[in-house]
Structure 1
């Protein structure tokens, strides 16, 4: 290879220049994990999710947070979160939900084991009408 370069330089009459990459402030990007890539696909296709059965609690939370951050959270996903008898449901953005949707979801759900229900930004819902005072 060096001989070919030398012939080119002699033929063209140019000088070789020492070159090295300039890396001012360069930081190599870290490749996303397979889990992150998989969760991104699930978020993009949230309407195709049919169940959270056998999905670990930590992954459900992570997926729910991603769905809220990307504004893909909807009643379909919320109903899936309420299926079975969950002990904890946390949704960080429920501004899309109506009072009727929340009422219907709670009526259909088994709330026996529910210890934590956190529904943030429920601007359209009035919990006084939905949850009776004890």
Structure 2
């Protein structure tokens, strides 16, 4: 594969990030530097680390960036749960975003395992 943009996992994480930005536009303005910012940063970190790791020379380095991406994904899942609990996200919206994040989680784990098997 010659480009990280061809990775389905990167494409799906970009789509999730776009959905996140659209969904938290409705959050209260006082959250702009708090939960809104945290959610956006963790979501942006996922495709960013997938892309950055792709450009590294070794599998070990790539795995390090994929580990950072999965850590950011777990942060995002936690923050989405908080947003739901304080009624910033309605149940259906939360479920969609959370299920998208779970799909990316499964893909990341599988991808990381494939890279480990190659070495």
Higher relative contact order (CA 8 A, sep 6+): 2
TM range (shorter): under 0.3
**Larger fraction in helix:** 2
**Rg comparison, structure with higher value:** 1
TM-score by length of 2: 0.27
**Larger fraction in strand:** 1
TM-score by length of 1: 0.25
